[in-house]
Amino acid sequence: MDEKPETGLTWKFPKVFWVANTIELFERAAFYGMFIFVSHYFVQEVGFSDVTSKWITGSFGCLLYFMPTFQGMLADKIGFRSALLLAFSLLFAGYGLLGAIPEKWAAVTALTLVMLGGAIVKPVISGTAAMCSDEHNRSRAMSLFYMAVNIGSFTGKSVVDPIRFQLDEMNLGISGLQAINLYAAAMALVALVLVFFAYRNYERTESKRTLDEVLSGLITVCCNLRFLSLIIIVGGFWAIQVQLYATMPQYLIRVVGNFTAPGWIANVNPLVVVILVVPITYLVRKLSPVASIGIGLMIIPLSALSVALAPQLGTDRIMILGLFSLHPLELMLIIGIAFQGIAECFLSPRFLEYASKQAPPGEVGLYMGYSHLTSAFSWGFGFVISGYLLDRWCPAPDVVAAMPAEAAAHAYDHAHYIWYFFVGVGVLAFLALIAFKIITDRIDARLADNARKADDGGQADHV
Q: Looking at the structure, tell me whether residues 189 and 278 fall in a common domain.
A: no
Please write the tens of the pLDDT for every residue from 324-375.
899 999 999 999 999 999 999 999 878 877 877 777 777 766 676 777 889 9
Domain boundary among 199, 220, 254: 199
Instruction: Find, among 118, 139, 120, the residue nearest to 32 by Cα.
Output: 118
Distances (CA, A) of 19 to 125, 194, 198: 10, 8, 7
Q: Name every residue whose Cβ is closer than 8 Å to that of residue 62 and which is 6 or more positions away in sequence.
A: 376, 377, 379, 380
Measure the CA–CA gap between 298 and 302, rounded to whole angstroms: 8
pLDDT of amino acid 1: 47
Q: Looking at the structure, tell me whether residues 287 and 324 fall in a common domain.
A: yes
Q: Is residue 3 part of a domain?
A: no
Domain boundary among 199, 220, 253: 199
Q: Kindly report the CATH number assigned to the domain that includes residue 444.
A: 1.20.1250.20
Q: Is 125 exposed, middle or buried (0-12, 13-18, 19+ CB in 10 A)?
A: buried
Measure the CA–CA gap between 102 and 100, rounded to whole angstroms: 7
Collect the ranges in the chain with pLDDT lower than 50.
1-2, 463
Number of domains in the chain: 2
Instruction: Find, among 354, 247, 250, the residue nearest to 297 by Cα.
Output: 354
Buried b (16+ CB within 10 A) or exposed e, 293-312: bbbbbbbbbbbbbbbbbbbe
Q: Looking at the structure, tell me whether residues 293 and 156 fall in a common domain.
A: no
Q: Looking at the structure, tell me whether residues 238 and 293 fall in a common domain.
A: yes
CA angle 325, 328, 332 (to 5 degrees): 110
Domain range for 250 is 209-463
Q: Looking at the structure, tell me whether residues 182 and 227 fall in a common domain.
A: no
CA angle 90, 242, 231 (to 5 degrees): 95
Q: Looking at the structure, tell me whether residues 252 and 165 fall in a common domain.
A: no
Q: Looking at the structure, tell me whether residues 259 and 127 fall in a common domain.
A: no
DSSP state of 61: H
Write phi, then psi, for 40 (nearest 5 degrees). Answer: -65, -40
pLDDT of amino acid 71: 77
Measure the CA–CA gap between 394 and 50, rounded to whole angstroms: 10
